[in-house]
Amino acid sequence: MPKKTLTPFERACKQPLMLGLFMPHQEGAWSPSKAPRKTSWDFDYNAKCARKADRLGFDIVFALAQWLGKSGYGGDIKFRENAIDPFITSAGLAPITKNVLLIATVHILYGWHPLHLAKYGAVIDHMSGGRWGLNVVTGYKESEFRMFGLDPIPHDERYAMASEFTTIMQRLWSEDEELTFKGKYWRTNGAFVAPKPESGSVVMVNAGSSPAGIDYATTHSDIIFVTSPGGADPAAAVKTLRPHTKKIRQAARAKKRKIKIMINPHVICRETEEEAWKQYHRILDMRDEVATDNFVATFMGGDQSSWRGHSKANWAVGGNVHLVGTPEQIVEWFAKLKRAGCDGMQVNFYDFLPDLNFFGKRVMPLLREAGLRIDVA
């Protein structure tokens, strides 16, 4: 019998350690710092990052979505005021990349209907050759709901709405008959989507960490992003992640579902440990105090339960876990995070293209030597 052709996601899952790039779609990316860099939020720069990640063999490129007012998080740098939308950008990246999965983040409760997103997503999946995926975000910031003229929705109800929304989308992607659906929140009458996604669905992603969030994620998602309960210190992260990832896997197994768990490390890698820590402190010491304070206050002010163990200094540097050191030390930390239950690393950098180039040249070969990356036929 002829050998089955793997889908792009199945190929990614064959890797001992999945690898994703957290793209800098927002001005300043993850770090509200004035330290020198040439990273840009614009499409051309992000396209260069995506193409480079694709050539290096990354499995995923991904970006977050936010709705901010004038000046973003403020400060002298107007942190994140300028930003490109990851959903629209994923369509732009489809024809200029070859293998990498394109995961788009969408706040599904800000005026979307499941039929809209099912159709648009299927089209981008078609454009990309089956490489599109969706990171479902329910939103938690009152200011974002107000932007759309909406009242904030209670936490657990958001996930109930997301479950119904996702169920409709997945049925539209997988079923070959018109769909009439009468739910609590959405209805369809004779809805139909064609073309269908190439694999019958798309890669679904979520970062729910509350009980309601984990229930949604383990029911509907293929990849679950986790955050370190122990803050940005990698040793504390490794220690606290083990019970957290175990709980998520148990919930998925109870539903007979297979999931992949990924975490977001900020990688600061140099030839020597001294150089790496010098860059870390440069980012921290040159932080924009106003932007950093506003950044922290926004994330700590909602009803979301992630990131609670992070200090102001952690937020100034950015990213969920800070991995600082030589190429060999970065690979060692990747291996430890894998043993703590993380199937993949969704990495971000401070100065993206130079740091990504260095990562490709010095870290990627070591990942292969360590057996964390392999050739997948």
| Residue 377: predicted pLDDT | 76
Considering the entire predicted model, what is its pTM? 0.96
Q: Hey, what are 150's tokens?
A: 């909406």
Q: Hey, what are 43's tokens?
A: 């499409």
Residues in a beta bridge with 322: 266
Q: Is the pLDDT of residue 15 over 70?
A: yes
Q: Is the pLDDT of residue 200 over 90?
A: no
How far is Cα 70 from Cα 254, in angstroms, rounded to an integer? 45
- The string of pLDDT tens digits covering residues 74-129 is 999 999 999 999 999 999 999 999 999 999 999 999 999 999 999 999 999 999 99
Residue bearing tokens 């809805």: 191
- The string of pLDDT tens digits covering residues 128-143 is 999 999 999 999 899 9
Termini Cα distance of the chain: 17
- The string of pLDDT tens digits covering residues 305-332 is 556 668 899 999 999 999 999 999 999 9
Residue bearing tokens 């030589």: 326
Confidence of residue 303 (pLDDT cuts 50, 70, 90): low
CATH topology of domain 8-369: TIM Barrel (3.20.20)
Report the relative pairing of strands 179-182 and 187-191 from DSSP bridges.
Answer: antiparallel
Q: What is the mean pLDDT of residues 251-259?
A: 97
| Residue 1: predicted pLDDT | 56
How far is Cα 268 from Cα 265, in angstroms, rounded to an integer? 9
Average pLDDT of the chain to the nearest whole number:
95
